[in-house]
Amino acid sequence: MDVELLRPGTVPANPDTVLWFEFLLDPNLLERHFNKHNPDPSPENLIIKFLTTSLEPPEDPELHNINGIPGDPVNNTNLAPVNGHSRRQSLKILAIKICALWNFSLEQIESKLPICLQNTLLRELIGFTSPTHDSNTLIDIDLQNIPDEYMFSLSLFHRWVLRTLSNAIEFKQIRMNAIQGSLTENEELLSHLQSMSGRSEQFLKVLCTMNKPTGYIMVPTCQCFTALIEQNVDSHRHDFTVGYKLNFYEFLCQILLDLTAFQVFREDYVEAKSNISHCKRLFDCLPEGLVSPYCTVTQEEIHGYCEASGVDVSEKNTLELMLLDSINNDYRNVIGILQQDNLVNEIPMSARISLDLDVAASLATGKFSAARDLLFQIQTLNAIRQAPVISEYVAKLCSSKKGVDILVWALGPVLKNASDERKTKLQLFLLKLLDQCDEATVHSLYKHKEVSTLIKKKELTDILEKKNKDEDSAVQTGTLLDALWNSDRGQGTTGRSNDLLGVERKLISTYN
């Protein structure tokens, strides 16, 4: 006999069966439940139950005795209304937490949930991660200034739109039942998704032109979503700082593969070729292959789409070619390419200097708009690669508000796997840099471990003492020069004495 395990009272109590409302009572029960070998109820059944219950029309607020004592609902002052909104929000949070345990896998979501609930789940995720808690703004968003968790949830939704349309023929063949909803409801949703497919595609294409100076995007995890309980209803916040740091190239590879699949489905092979080529280049740049659970792209999939789109998979993917492609596409991912080159020294320095000049000219003439710090990021990465006579770079470093932070950001990846010889060169570079910087910049740089691990404390002390001596010497020199000039004017020296005095002035002014 078929029974619904999620409905209390339909089956005899079983020690291994957890009733759905128990997850509302114990916020920590969810993860313990899914650590079981064969959890009952299953994750997909719980998501369906949580979402369908949260979507039910709210009942009239009932009065309940706060102290649990029966009484007259009119006269008893211990009565308070049940907060239906908080209960619905709690159920949605539980559904999102289960989805996070699936690592937000669209394969899992698409195969285990009805299409209408897929839409509901992903929109609720956007609402929880949006700074304004708005789940309706999906397109017109400034991607440069949004938090990582919001960017991730938007990308997930727009990927789902394209994937759903690519697989639409399968949805028409699905056997409808009471949970999945009517065929008409699904067709209406598919029609709506079809109308926004162009905007979803454009959104993802713009996202793929971005770069992240950190090299990663923070992905929400189950621990990020905090339970809504009575004590924190008014101050409830999710903590996205405990998310997973996903390599930004892996993040883009997944988007580019879904874009390619949609464009092949639509028979737009020119766009598909461009996107799969970009995906292949990024995939080849991953230092140790895919290690995160948030990217399911494989070499076989990429090669399959490359062959279908006419991309030569045997072509050597050099950083120099990637840089040329980036320049032709409004400097797309140029920072990531330069970071990678700092590890292998493949791109000629002349090409990198030319890039610096081209970007500066484009920004000055208004032909190209970019993040405020893009030019200085390029200059910093070039300085790290070149380690030249750095007087010009010092002036740029000290005049930039974020100069110290960007320098440390550029040093980090190079130091991670640097050889002793490379560290020695970087140490000499930093010693020259600190020697020419002002004292405030020296202290700011030395606070960062990337600098303090290369520069010894005694070396820092020597640099600061030298700066103090130079300042004292400059003051004394200035005073002596003033005295000599005043003496010259007062005594009116002429002839040989005047010549000797001129020589003295030159000697003093050139003293360091």
Q: Binning pLDDT at 50, 70 and 90, where does residue 106 land? A: very high
Yes or no: say if 130 and 147 are a contact pair by the CB < 8 Å rule.
Answer: no
Q: Which residue has the higher pLDDT, 23 or 452?
A: 452
Residue 133 has pLDDT above 80, yes or no: no
Residue 77 has pLDDT above 50, yes or no: no
Residue 94 has pLDDT above 80, yes or no: yes
The candidate with the shortest Cα–Cα distance to 251, out of 152, 325, 163, 162, is 152
pLDDT at res. 244: 93
Yes or no: say if 212 and 77 are a contact pair by the CB < 8 Å rule.
Answer: no
What percent of the chain lies above the pLDDT cut of 70?
71
Q: Binning pLDDT at 50, 70 and 90, where does residue 164 land? A: very high
pLDDT per residue over 218-253, tens digit each? 999 988 888 776 655 555 688 898 899 998 889 999
pLDDT per residue over 182-197, tens digit each? 567 778 888 899 998 9
Q: Is the dihedral of CA 190, 191, 194, 195 positive or negative?
A: negative
Measured CA to CA in angstroms, residue 317 lies from 2, 296, 314, 325 at distances of 57, 22, 9, 11
pLDDT at res. 217: 92
Yes or no: say if 154 and 203 are a contact pair by the CB < 8 Å rule.
Answer: yes
Q: Binning pLDDT at 50, 70 and 90, where does residue 450 land? A: confident
Residue 482 has pLDDT above 60, yes or no: no
pLDDT per residue over 367-396, tens digit each? 777 776 888 889 899 888 876 556 667 878
Across 69-91, average pLDDT: 54
What residue spans define the domains of the chain? 22-58+82-242, 471-509
pLDDT at res. 316: 60
Distance CA 448, CA 441 (A): 12
What percent of the chain lies above the pLDDT cut of 90?
16
pLDDT at res. 157: 95
Average pLDDT along the chain: 77
**Sequence-distant (≥ 6) Cβ neighbours of residue 20 within 8 angstroms:** 6, 41, 46, 49, 50, 53
Instruction: Return the residue matching tokens 């690592």.
Output: 103
Across 282-297, average pLDDT: 77
Residue 14 has pLDDT above 70, yes or no: no
Across 311-337, average pLDDT: 77
Across 194-216, average pLDDT: 86
pLDDT at res. 110: 92
Structure tokens at 289: 């292959």
pLDDT at res. 78: 39
Give the highest mean pLDDT range of 154-158, 183-187, 464-468: 154-158
